Amino acid sequence: MSADATPPGTMLPGADEEGPGPVVVRPQPPPPPPFPIPPLFGKYSFEGLEVHDPGLQPYLYLHPIYAPHTEGKLTGRPFLKSHMHVVERLANHLMKGGRFTGKKGKALKTIRLAFDQLATTEKANPLQLLVNAIENAAPREEVTRLQFGGISVPRAVDASPARRVNVAIRNIAQGAIQASRKSTKAIHQCLANEIALAAKPDLTSFAVARKEEVERVAQSAR
């Protein structure tokens, strides 16, 4: 889908407020190219990827792409990040702070090396492992604060599907960065380990542990 497409969750122009309701537009697969698209990094197929959580399926862009780099074409408009491939979104989160700041090529190289390690150790498509990790690390509930007079009271709220994907990808990248700072392992080894643990899911994964903590706090604030 092009960058000019209507963002998901918005009302189409001309929709009558007194009608049956707003028309919600979801990300749709782009038209097939005139020639085949090569696999990701020349190795990993885009075919056969499954999303088991129906709520996250419209917001996980898994369609075939030539390269996970949109050059900023999807910035500046709300919800268009749902039209960006999950691999590029992971690279963007790796670039937030530290030695990866502004180095998209270095972040993509780290993901490629992590995928190579996952394909060797887990014997599975790394793209599918990344999807499973995002599903297992996406919190369903979060906590907000409501003001009653001069008192701030925590309340549990349901997390939207778009935010669930954002938080999961952010925590996976943050877990890999923190693990690399605390050990002598390379960043791609820490990223591969974080994705593998989150795909199981394993509570030793930073992203899964953060999800459980957030949901536990939200359950106590119901």
Overall pTM surpassing 0.95 (yes/no):
no
CATH of domain 57-220: 1.10.455.10
- 53 neighbors 137 (Cβ within 8 angstroms): no
pLDDT score of 112 more than 90: yes
Residue-wise pLDDT for 135-194, tens only, equals: 999 999 999 888 888 888 888 999 999 999 999 999 999 999 999 988 889 999 999 999
Q: Measure the N-to-C terminal CA separation of the chain; round to a whole number of Å.
A: 39
Give me the chain's average pLDDT, please.
Answer: 84
171-181 burial by CB neighbour count: b if 16+ within 10 A, else e? bbbbbbbebbe
Least confident window among 1-5, 38-42, 128-132, 210-214: 1-5
